[in-house]
Amino acid sequence: MPPGIRPPPTSRPTLKEASDVLARLKLGGSPASPRVLWLSDWSARVRSCCDADLKATSAYYALLLSSLRSLDSDLMRGVTVLRQSDCVLSDPSNYWISVINAGRHFALDDVMGPAMKDSDGVGAVIARLMIVADSLGIEPATIALPPPGDADGDAESMLISRFHDEVLSSSGGGGDGGVRVPEFLRGAGPDLSLQVRDEAAHVTDNDEYYLTDDPKVSGKSKMKKAFCMPGNVEFCPPIILASAFGIGGVGGEGAGRGIEIKRSEDNGGDVTYKSRGDMERDFASGALHPGDLKGAASAVMVGVLTSIASGIKADPDAAKAVKTLKAFEKKMSKKKK
C-alpha cells in the first residue's frame, strides 16, 4: 500500500510528515494486512527534491524510517519498505517503456492537472508519469494517498485509474489474470501546526515540530509559543498534539493511557483525560486553563521527541543522516548567498 512520493524529501523533515505516513499506512485492511512503504527516491530526484542530491535524499529517508519506527514500532514491524530505485533497476527497460507509454497516452494538460504550473518544470510531469509505472510494477491492491482535494493525490489517482481503464482494459491487460486496478484510500494525520500564518514569509521554525528538534529545548519552548486562545477549540494545537501523541498512543512515556494534567486546587485539582472530546469540552467552558493544558502538552511532546532522538542515536544510518542533512543545509545556504 505505497503512499507515493509524499512527503517529498527535504533537509528538515517534520513530525507532520512522519504522522501523515503512519496515518496512511493504517488505512484499510486489518492490522495484519501486508503493508508496503514505497520510497519514491528516483521521482524525488527527477523533481529536484533536496537539489537532486542523492546523499541528502537517502539521508532523509533514513531519518524518516528511524522516526517512524520510534513513533509506532508495532506498525512498522509489519511494514515492508521498498525503494523505487531498487525496483526500477531490477527491470529498467520495461519500467521506462511503461513511463513512455503513459506519456504517449495522456495529454500534457491531463498530467499537469489544474494545480501544476509551467514553472514546476518537466521533472514534475515525468514524476507523475512514473507514478503510473510504479503502480503497474508493484500491482498494489490499494494505494494510500492524501485526502480528496490534495492536487497531487487527485491527479495521481486519476492518471492511474484512466490508464487502467483506457489502456490496459482495452488491450486485454486488465481483468482476471491481468494487472489489478488498485483501490485508492485517502487520508492524513492531524494538523500539527502550532500557529496559523497568512503568508509563507511569516512562517518560523517555531511553527511546527521537526524530527531533529532537541527534546528538552524545542519540546517545551515551541509549545510555550503555540497558539492557544482560551475557549477556542476550533484550532488548539496543544489539544491536537496531546491527543495525537498522548491519548492516541503514539510516542512518549505513558502514551495511550490518558493525559494527566496537573492543576492547583483552585483550578479544580489534577485531572486525567482519556479522550480529545473531554479536553475540548473543558477547554471550551474554561474549566481547563491554557497554562495547565500547555504544561501537559509540553510533557507529551518532550516524550515524543525524546523517543525519536533515542531511536536516531541507536540507528547508525539515521545518526549519519542527521549530519548529512545538516551539511547539505549548510551547503544550500551558502549557495543562496
Provide the residue-wise pLDDT of the chain in tens; the chain has 337 residues: 444 445 789 999 999 999 999 999 988 777 677 889 999 999 999 999 999 999 999 999 999 999 999 999 988 998 999 999 998 889 999 999 999 999 999 999 999 999 999 998 899 999 999 999 999 888 888 999 999 999 999 999 999 999 998 988 766 544 444 667 889 999 999 999 999 887 777 888 999 999 999 999 999 999 999 999 999 999 999 999 999 998 865 544 444 568 888 888 888 888 989 889 999 999 999 999 999 999 999 999 999 999 999 999 999 999 999 999 999 999 988 877 6
Q: Are residues 232 and 181 in the same domain?
A: no
Domain boundary among 131, 152, 186: 186
Q: Residue 99 falls within a domain, yes or no?
A: yes
Q: Are residues 118 and 87 in the same domain?
A: yes
Domain that holds residue 94: 15-186
Domain boundary among 141, 157, 186: 186
pLDDT score of 201 = 74
Q: Are residues 252 and 127 in the same domain?
A: no
Number of domains in the chain: 2
Q: Residue 191 falls within a domain, yes or no?
A: no
Give the Cα separation of 73 and 283 in Å (integer).
32
pLDDT score of 34 = 82
Does residue 49 contact residue 57 with C-beta atoms inside 8 Å? yes
pLDDT score of 337 = 64
Q: Residue 275 falls within a domain, yes or no?
A: yes
Q: Which residues contact 276 (CB under 8 A, 6 or more apart)?
A: 239, 243, 247
pLDDT score of 175 = 45
CATH number of the domain at 116, please. Answer: 3.40.50.620
Q: Residue 5 falls within a domain, yes or no?
A: no
pLDDT score of 3 = 42
Q: Are residues 218 and 149 in the same domain?
A: no
Q: Are residues 173 and 207 in the same domain?
A: no
Does residue 279 contact residue 288 with C-beta atoms inside 8 Å? yes
Q: Are residues 24 and 160 in the same domain?
A: yes
Packing angle of the helix pair 54-71, 290-314 (nearest 10 deg): 120
Going 250 to 254 to 258 to 261, the CA torsion angle's sign is negative
pLDDT score of 179 = 66
Give the Cα separation of 234 and 193 in Å (integer).
13
Q: Are residues 175 and 213 in the same domain?
A: no
Domain boundary among 157, 186, 215: 186
Q: Residue 249 falls within a domain, yes or no?
A: yes
Q: Residue 195 falls within a domain, yes or no?
A: no
Q: Which of 157, 107, 127 has the alpha carbon at shortest distance from 47? A: 127
Q: Are residues 98 and 144 in the same domain?
A: yes
pTM summary value = 0.90
Give the Cα separation of 305 and 312 in Å (integer).
10
Q: Are residues 78 and 136 in the same domain?
A: yes
Q: Which residues contact 32 (CB under 8 A, 6 or more apart)?
A: 78
Q: Which of 152, 165, 47 has the alpha carbon at shortest distance from 105? A: 165
Per-residue DSSP letter, 14: B
Q: Are residues 205 and 93 in the same domain?
A: no
Q: Are residues 239 and 161 in the same domain?
A: no
Q: Residue 282 falls within a domain, yes or no?
A: yes
Q: Are residues 168 and 247 in the same domain?
A: no
Give the Cα separation of 194 and 240 in Å (integer).
10
CATH number of the domain at 222, please. Answer: 1.10.240.10
Q: Residue 241 falls within a domain, yes or no?
A: yes
